[in-house]
Structure 1
Amino acid sequence: MGNVKKKKIALGLQLLIALFLGGAAGFFLPQFASFYQFLGQAFIRLISMLIIPLVLPLVVVAVAEVLGKNHFQKLLGKTFLYFFAVTTGITALFVFASYYLGFGQGVNIGQEGASLEGIATGVKIDEFFLNFIPSNLFKALTDGALLPILIFAIFLGYGVGQLEQEKKEAFLSGTKIWIAAIYKILDAVILLSPVGVFGFIAKDVATTGVDKLLGLGQFVLGMYLGYGVLALVIFPVIAILYKVNYVKLFKSIGDLVTLAFVSGGSSVVLPPLLKRLKKEGYDEAVTDFVVPLGYSFNLEGAAVYFALATVFLANAYGITFTPQALLFTVLLLSLIGKTAATIPSGAIVVLLAAAPQLGLPVEGVALILSVDFFANAGRTALNVVGQALAVAVLDSKKEKTEKVEKPAKAENVTGKELIANAG
C-alpha cells in the first residue's frame, strides 16, 4: 500500500477545470473582478520575471555550442529564411483571399470609435531596424525588450564561442548551472497556472459586456475560421513537406497551447515550451536558438490576425484596394508585424501603425479592441504551435535519425531506452 502513488490530474485538465470555474465565478460574482485580475496578473508576473534570466543565457549557450559544431551560419540562414517565407506567405494568402471573398463587406461596426489614448500609432522603418541593436543593455533588460536582448545574446554567444576551449567550457558550465536553477523555479511557478487561468477568465467574464460583442461577431467568427485554416491546413502541409509528425507534435504541447489560449500571452509559455521540446528529443542548441527568435520573427497566428483584421476594416469602411495596394499591404504587415509584442493585445499596436499608411481609419482599429480578448486567444495559441513546428522543421532530420540509431547499436542500452527511442 505504501508504494501506491496518488494519481495527479494532468495540467491540461486542471486548466480546463479552472476555465469553467473562472467563467462561473465571473458571471455569478462579478463584484470580485479586481481580485480575479490580481490572481491573473500575479501569475503573469511570476512567469515574466523568469523570461529574460532564462532566455538570455539559453541563447548564449545555444550560439556558442552551435559555433562549436561549425554550422551556426547555416542554422541562422535557415531560421530567418523559414521565418520570412512562412509568415509572409501566410500574410499574402489571407490578405488576398479575405479581400476577394469580401470579408467585412456590409458590416455595421458603429460610427464611434473607442479611445485611442496611450496607444502608439506609428512605426518608423529606420527606428524599427535601429531598435534591433540595444544602445543600453541594462535599459533593455529593465524594459524587458526581448529583441535587443536576443541580439546581444547572439553576439555574446559568438564571443564565447571564440574563446579557448578551457575558458569556453568553464563559462558554459557556470551558465548551464544558472539555467538549471531557473528551470527549477519554473517548475514551481507552473503549478500555479490553473490559479492564473481562473483569474484571467473570471475577470474577463465579469467585465466584458455581451452587448459590446454582438456587433463584431462576424469579425470574431471569421478570425477563428482563419485560425482553423492555419491550424488544420497550413501547419499540417508544412509538416508534411518537412516530414514532421504534426499530430504528435501538437499533442506534446497541448496543455501549453491551452495555457497560451486562456492567458492571451505567448511569453507565459516560453520557458516551459523550451523545456518541453527538449524533452521531446529536439536538439537543445536548435531549440534554444530558434524559439526565442521566433517570438519576434515567427508569429503565424498574429500574421493571420493582421491580414484578416486589416481587410475586415477596409471592407467594412468601403475602402477599395488595387492588387498593387494589396501587395503593399502584405509587405507592410510582414515588416511591422515583427514588432508585435508577446503580451496580451500587443497586435493592436501593429494595426494602429499600419492603418494610416493603408488609408484605414484608426477609429476602426479602436472598435475591435472590445473583442480583442477573443481574437487574441486564438492568435496567441497558434503562435506557440508555430514555434514548436519551426523547431521540428529546422532541427536536422539527419541528426535526429543518428541520435536514434546510435544508442540502438550500443551494448549497454537498456530495454526502456530502446522503447523510448523507437517511439
Structure 2
Amino acid sequence: MRTPIYKMLYVQVLVAIAIGVVLGVIQPDLSVQLKPLGDAFIALIKMIIGPVIFCTVVTGIAGMTDLKEMGRVGGKALLYFEVVSTFALCLGLIAGHLLHPGAGFNVDPATLDTSVIAKYTTGAESHGMVDFLMSIIPHTFFSGFTEGNILQILLISILTGAALAQLGDKGEGIVAGISSATRVFFKIVHYITRLAPIGAFGAIAFTVGKYGVHSLLPMFKLVGSFYLTALVFVLVVLGVVARLAGFRILAFIRYIREELLIVLGTSSSEAALPMLIEKLERAGCSRKVVGLVVPTGYSFNLDGTNIYMTLAVLFIAQATNVDLSLVDQLTILLVAMLTSKGASGVTGAGFITLAATLAVVPQLSVAGMVLILGVDRFMSECRALTNFVGNGVATIVIAAWEKSLDRARLEQAMRGELTTQPVA
C-alpha cells in the first residue's frame, strides 16, 4: 500500500524547512531561540554515529577472508578521494575566473576588523598535517566514542575487525554479538530520524532569524557562484563518475532525498551519516566497503569544502585587487589538497582551512576572510550537501570497483522499488 504523502519523511522535512524560513523572516527574535531544537537533533545523531560506525566496520572487516582486501579497499578509496577532490579544487578556481565573484568590491584589507576571525586564524596555525595524523590516535580505546571523533573510531574499528578476522572461529561469537547490536543501533537511528522535521525546523529558523535573508544581498554573487559551481560539480563531474559506475546521479539523489533534506535543514552532513550507511547497504554495497569508505570520506572526501576554498581564495583576491600569478594559483591548489585534510573534524574547519591556504600567498591578506564571514553560514548548507552526495557516489564506485556491488539491488534502489526496512 502506498504511504500517504503526509507520512513521508522527506515531505515532512521539506514542510518544516519552509515553515522555519517563513518564521525566521517574520519573527527573527523568536526564531533565534529555536536553535536548541536543531542542536538537540544533531546531538542525538552524533550520539549514535560512533556505535554505528564501529559495528559496521568491525563486522565488515571480520568477514573478510584476506586482510589484504581491507588494504586494497582503503587504498582505492584514498586514490579516488584524491583524484575527485582535485577536480573539485580545480573547478573552484575555474569558476572564480569565469564568474569573477569578487570583482568591483575594491576593499582595502587594512580597513577590515580581523578580531572576528581571530579564532579561525589561530586554529589554522595549530592544525597542520602532523597534528592531524597524531589526532587520529585516541588517548584510550573509548575516547574516540566519548569525543565523537570519527577517524579515531574508525581506527579502533579497523583494529578490532582485523583482530577478530585473525581469531577465526574463536571470534565468531563476538562478531555475531556485534552484528546483532548493529540491528539495535539502526533501530535507534530510525527512532531519532522521526525527529528530523523538528530539528530541521529549529536549525533553519535560527539561521534565517539570526543572519537574515537580507545579509545575502551584498554577497549574492559569491553565494550564487558557489551554489552554481557545486551544482555543476554534482551533475557533471559526479554525474560522469556515476554513469561510468553504472547508475544515474539524479536517480541516486532521488534515492537519498530524505537524507539530503536533513543535511540541508541542519547544515551538517553528519546529521544523516547513519542513514546514508544503511541506505548504501540496502542499495547493494557490501558492508565492508560501506564501513571503510563512508567514515573515511567524511574527512578525506570533502568535495564541497574544496570548491569553497579555491573559489573563496579567488574571491578575496579579486575583492582586494590582488593579481595572482599562475604559480600562486598552483601553489594554492597544492596546499589546499593538504589543508582540506589537515583540519578535518575541527570546529569551523572550512574557515580554518581557508586561513591556512591564504597564508601561503604573502600578497593575500587573511583579513579578507572577514568579507565572507557574514554569509559563510548560508554556504555551509551547500558544502554539506555536496560532501554528502560525493561520499555516497564514492562508496558505490568503490563497491563496483571491488566487485562487491549487487547490481540488481542497486537498480531497484535507483528505481525507488526497495522497501524502507532496515538492513539485516
On whether the aligned pair clears a TM of 0.5, the verdict is yes
In 2 relative to 1, CA 107–73 (structure 1 residues): closer, same or farther, beyond 3 Å?
same
Residues 56 and 287, structure 2, Cα contact 8 Å, conserved in 1: no
- The counterpart of 2:225, out of the listed 207, 212, 222, is 222
CA–CA distance in structure 2, aligned partners of residues 82 and 33 of structure 1: 41
How far apart are 1:358 and its partner, in Å?
2.8
How far apart are 1:83 and its partner, in Å?
0.8
Say whether residues 1:93 and 2:91 are aligned partners.
yes
How far apart are 1:93 and its partner, in Å?
3.4
CA–CA distance in structure 2, aligned partners of residues 343 and 133 of structure 1: 15
Matches within 5 A, 1:321-340: 321-340=324-343
Which amino acid in structure 1 is aligned with residue 391 of structure 2?
A: Q
Matches within 5 A, 1:132-151: 132-151=136-155
In 2 relative to 1, CA 420–48 (structure 1 residues): closer, same or farther, beyond 3 Å?
closer
How far apart are 1:209 and its partner, in Å?
3.6
CA–CA distance in structure 1, aligned partners of residues 172 and 355 of structure 2: 47
- The counterpart of 2:359, out of the listed 353, 356, 360, is 356
Q: Which residue of 1 aligns with 2:40?
A: 42
CA–CA distance in structure 2, aligned partners of residues 179 and 191 of structure 1: 19
How far apart are 1:100 and its partner, in Å?
6.6
Count of aligned residue pairs for this structure pair: 405
CA–CA distance in structure 2, aligned partners of residues 161 and 313 of structure 1: 51
In 2 relative to 1, CA 72–125 (structure 1 residues): closer, same or farther, beyond 3 Å?
closer
**Aligned-pair identity (%):** 29
In structure 1, runs of 5+ residues without a counterpart are 406-418
How far apart are 1:158 and its partner, in Å?
1.6
CA–CA distance in structure 1, aligned partners of residues 380 and 328 of structure 2: 26
- The counterpart of 1:178, out of the listed 181, 201, 216, is 181
Say whether residues 1:64 and 2:101 are aligned partners.
no
How far apart are 1:207 and its partner, in Å?
1.4
CA–CA distance in structure 1, aligned partners of residues 4 and 235 of structure 2: 37
Aligned to 1:396, what secondary structure does the other structure show?
helix
Higher mean displacement: 207-216 or 151-160: 207-216
Residues 345 and 376, structure 1, Cα contact 8 Å, conserved in 2: no
Q: Which residue of 1 aligns with 2:119?
A: 118
Q: Which residue of 2 aligns with 1:414?
A: none
CA–CA distance in structure 2, aligned partners of residues 49 and 420 of structure 1: 28
Residues 37 and 199, structure 2, Cα contact 8 Å, conserved in 1: yes
Q: Which residue of 1 aligns with 2:412?
A: none
CA–CA distance in structure 2, aligned partners of residues 401 and 139 of structure 1: 34
Which amino acid in structure 2 is aligned with residue 249 of structure 1?
A: F
Q: Which residue of 1 aligns with 2:196?
A: 193
Q: Which residue of 2 aligns with 1:206?
A: 209
- The counterpart of 1:54, out of the listed 36, 52, 55, is 52
How far apart are 1:138 and its partner, in Å?
3.7
How far apart are 1:82 and its partner, in Å?
0.5
Say whether residues 1:33 and 2:37 are aligned partners.
no
Aligned to 1:216, what secondary structure does the other structure show?
helix
CA–CA distance in structure 1, aligned partners of residues 33 and 213 of structure 2: 21
Say whether residues 1:255 and 2:258 are aligned partners.
yes
Aligned CA-pair RMSD: 2.7
In 2 relative to 1, CA 325–198 (structure 1 residues): closer, same or farther, beyond 3 Å?
same
Residues 39 and 195, structure 1, Cα contact 8 Å, conserved in 2: yes
How far apart are 1:332 and its partner, in Å?
1.0
Which amino acid in structure 2 is aligned with residue 204 of structure 1?
A: T
How far apart are 1:5 and its partner, in Å?
7.9
Say whether residues 1:292 and 2:291 are aligned partners.
no
Residues 108 and 215, structure 1, Cα contact 8 Å, conserved in 2: no
In structure 2, runs of 5+ residues without a counterpart are 410-416, 420-424
Higher mean displacement: 273-282 or 58-67: 58-67
Residues 290 and 391, structure 1, Cα contact 8 Å, conserved in 2: yes
Which amino acid in structure 2 is aligned with residue 381 of structure 1?
A: L
In 2 relative to 1, CA 340–254 (structure 1 residues): closer, same or farther, beyond 3 Å?
farther
Q: Which residue of 2 aligns with 1:376?
A: 380
Which amino acid in structure 1 is aligned with residue 261 of structure 2?
A: T
